[in-house]
Amino acid sequence: MQIGEILGILDEIAPFSLQESWDNSGLIVGSKEDMFSKIYLSLDVDSELVKSLENNSLLITHHPLIFKGLKQINFDKYPSNILKELIKKDISLISMHTNYDKIYLNKYVTENILGYKVVECKEFVCYFNVEEEFDIFAQNIKKKLNLPFLKTVKGKKIIKKVAITTGSGAELLNDIEADCFLTGDIKYHQAYEVKENGMSMIEIGHFESEIFFADSLRKNLKKFDIQAIITNSQNPFCYSK
């Protein structure tokens, strides 16, 4: 199969035109005319992952390896070191980031991982309903996402309406209308704002909440009779108790 063909299929799944202006989803390494033998899926691409991939293959990631223009190609530094290995092994790279978030990932995590029915989606935010005490609800989320610890802001004791944005969504706070907001990369002053405004938050981790990208995309590709291999990158953070 050619890269151009798979790009067309991916565009049907989650149109690249829906990505944010600052994003860099699409073909990052390779040519539309290139042929490939296998497809690998991962949240990110790191050095160890590239070593494990077969030559002449295609890697599809959630996060783009390159977000902004590179002014220097220094093979001793990231991301140029990754680019070097991809090119040496004739591995093409495609990313599906904000376009996939909007169409699939938030809903997939809510319904297939957390087990709640989505009642509304607005761009990057999905909403669902519960009727639980905050502490019980938070422990549930921790277990289902396999979080190493709980980091929460408790503004409400009883949770009825919940908003979720996988990855980094705390910048969306002003648009959230819920009792509790689940997202990653929460900053200190954002937590203060939430608490003072009487809302709760649960830090669900960037890696931990988006690691399901590969699984969800593989299921979508199966609808087109395309097989893919999940080979996820590693979390850059190490946790200790």
Residues 41, 95: Cα–Cα separation, whole Å? 10
State the pLDDT at residue 240.
Answer: 82
State the pLDDT at residue 68.
Answer: 85
Q: What percent of the chain has pLDDT over 90?
A: 97
Residue 62, burial from CB neighbour count under 10 angstroms (0-12, 13-18, 19+): buried
Residues 63, 119: Cα–Cα separation, whole Å? 27
Residues 80, 100: Cα–Cα separation, whole Å? 25
Average pLDDT of the chain to the nearest whole number: 96
Smallest Cα–Cα separation from 39: which of 24, 26, 53?
53
Residue 115 has pLDDT above 80, yes or no: yes
Cβ pair 91, 58 in contact under 8 A: yes
Give the architecture-level CATH label for domain 100-206: 3-Layer(aba) Sandwich (3.40)
Residues 76, 81: Cα–Cα separation, whole Å? 6
Residues 129, 57: Cα–Cα separation, whole Å? 42
Give the CATH number of domain 3-97+211-230. 3.40.1390.30
Q: Edge-to-edge, what's the strand order for the sheet holding 39-42? A: 26-29, 92-95, 58-61, 39-42, 229-230
Q: Residue 196: which region, alpha, beta or left (left: phi > 0; alpha: psi -120 to 50)?
A: alpha
pTM for the whole structure? 0.96
Rounded to an integer, what is the distance from CA 101 to the centroid of its chain?
7
Query: Which of the four pLDDT bands, split at 50, 70 and 90, describes residue 69?
Result: confident
Domain residue extents for the chain: 3-97+211-230, 100-206
Q: What is the pLDDT of residues 208-232, one digit of tens each?
A: 999 999 999 999 999 999 999 999 9
Residue 241 has pLDDT above 80, yes or no: no
Residue 80 has pLDDT above 80, yes or no: yes
